[in-house]
Chain A
Amino acid sequence: MSALERRCRTLLRAYPRWYRRQRGEEMLATLLEASRPGQRWPSARDARALITGGLRVRAAQDQRLTTGASLRLAAQLGVALSLLLLVANSLATATLVWVHVYAPYAHAGYLLASALLGLAAVVAAWFAPRPAVAALAAAAAAVTAYVSWAADRPMVILPVGLLVTLAVLVCLGDRMPRSWLWLAGGLFAASVLLPLTPLGPLFLYAPLLLVPWIILGAVTLWALVDARPAMAVAIYIACTYLVSPVLGSIGYRYGGGLTALVSWPTLVYAIIAAVVASGSLWRLRRQSVL
């Protein structure tokens, strides 16, 4: 085996195993045929094309979708991520109530039930038949409305709206690629652990604060390979940092009324969401060209 062949084989590892089994030898033959006599290294252009091509196959972005279809999938992921954050908060709150109240508490029980049903609906969006997703989303929405209605009525709109949107998108459109479960799982784990860290050693707290932002930043960079998760991040930021404060202000949660909305953090989040969304949309349009 020549040095060039060995290096080409290493680069081909960017593609998933099933793809290499199907196409690996054929691609290697083409790479070697296209090389100059005595060439020892693949060209920078070939290396870049193999790495991005491999990552695109891994991201399930090797087949063309229209911009609309890509947007629907991105919206599904954005809604799922926003729901997972709400579920994580409910799980953490239920846990904290149990830890500090030292007794079974009915409200915490309902909170836990709504969180688990919400989590089941999100996971079902990847795996379960469409009617099951709709049923789980409806059940989660009903329990969430029951739990939150007495405490903070406007805040019911966000989880219920997200659950309904998720069910509609799953019933209408394609399924999200399973590779996106890594992103959803990572963000969910960080969101569950973050509120619980005060129960553990404090040195865990500061690094964990950064984890969601590191994940979101990495996804935004991933837009070079696949812009759909980046668009989902824009939706997640809008739901979490813009819609949630608006609903909080309509209720009594933040006390500042609607004037509290015109603050620097809100403006910064609005700008970040708008920039990521417009950049992703530009990339999505390019992705849809054959």
Chain B
Amino acid sequence: MNTSKAEMREPTYFVLASLLDGPLHGYAIIQRAAELSGGRVRMATGTLYTALDRLTAEGYVRLVREEIVNGRARRSYGLTGSGTAALHAEAARMAAAAQLVTSRDVPSRRTAAIRKPRLA
């Protein structure tokens, strides 16, 4: 399949990050992603399974356990080696992008306004 290793959406990033501590089932992934993102990423069930389908097809996530709970299938998913590597690569990319800004002593707008030379 023709896929590239570039770019990752925020929900995908948090789905992978939620599996760092071990395999989780669908609802637990939604909860953990919301927790890790400080409530910013609230995934709908349909969105989660679309992401899981793509991540499984990419080889980033795999089915770890299947059990029956209350008469329904419950599947737990875990990170694969390449999933962990992709997550770390994305984290490094974001850290480098953040470093670009945080490492500089950029004056705030207010300070810049004060420093602005006056005409008269």
Chain B residues 1-30 with CB under 8 Å of chain A are 1-4, 7-9, 12, 25-27, 30
Chain B residues 34-72 with CB under 8 Å of chain A are 44-50, 53-55, 57-58, 69-70, 72
How far, in angstroms, from A51 to B47 measured CA to CA in the complex? Answer: 10
Do A26 and B46 touch across chains, with their CB atoms under 8 A apart?
Answer: no
Chain A residues 37-81 with CB under 8 Å of chain B are 43, 45-46, 48-54, 56-57, 62-66, 68-69
Count of interface residues, chain A, beta-carbon cutoff 8 Å: 33
Count of interface residues, chain B, beta-carbon cutoff 8 Å: 30
Shortest Cβ distance from residue B5 to the other chain A in the assembled complex, whole angstroms? 9
Residue in B2, B25, B72 whose beta carbon sits within 8 Å of that of A174 in the complex = B2
Residue in B27, B55, B73 whose beta carbon sits within 8 Å of that of A33 in the complex = B27
Helix, strand, loop or mixed for chain A's interface?
Answer: helix
- Chain B residues whose C-beta falls within 8 Å of the C-beta of A66 in the assembled complex: 2-4
Residue of A nearest to B74 (CB): A29
Do A64 and B58 touch across chains, with their CB atoms under 8 A apart?
Answer: yes
Residue in A26, A48, A52, A56 whose beta carbon sits within 8 Å of that of B74 in the complex = A26
Residue in B9, B26, B47, B50 whose beta carbon sits within 8 Å of that of A26 in the complex = B26
Residue in B3, B30, B53 whose beta carbon sits within 8 Å of that of A34 in the complex = B30
A278 at interface, CB cutoff 8 A: no
- Chain B residues whose C-beta falls within 8 Å of the C-beta of A63 in the assembled complex: 1, 53-54, 57
Do A290 and B45 touch across chains, with their CB atoms under 8 A apart?
Answer: no
Residue of B nearest to A44 (CB): B44
Query: What residues make up the interface of A, taking CB atoms closer than 8 Å to B?
Result: 23, 25-31, 33-34, 43, 45-46, 48-54, 56-57, 62-66, 68-69, 174, 288-290
The 5 closest A-B pairs by CB, nearest first: A49-B46, A69-B2, A49-B44, A53-B46, A30-B26
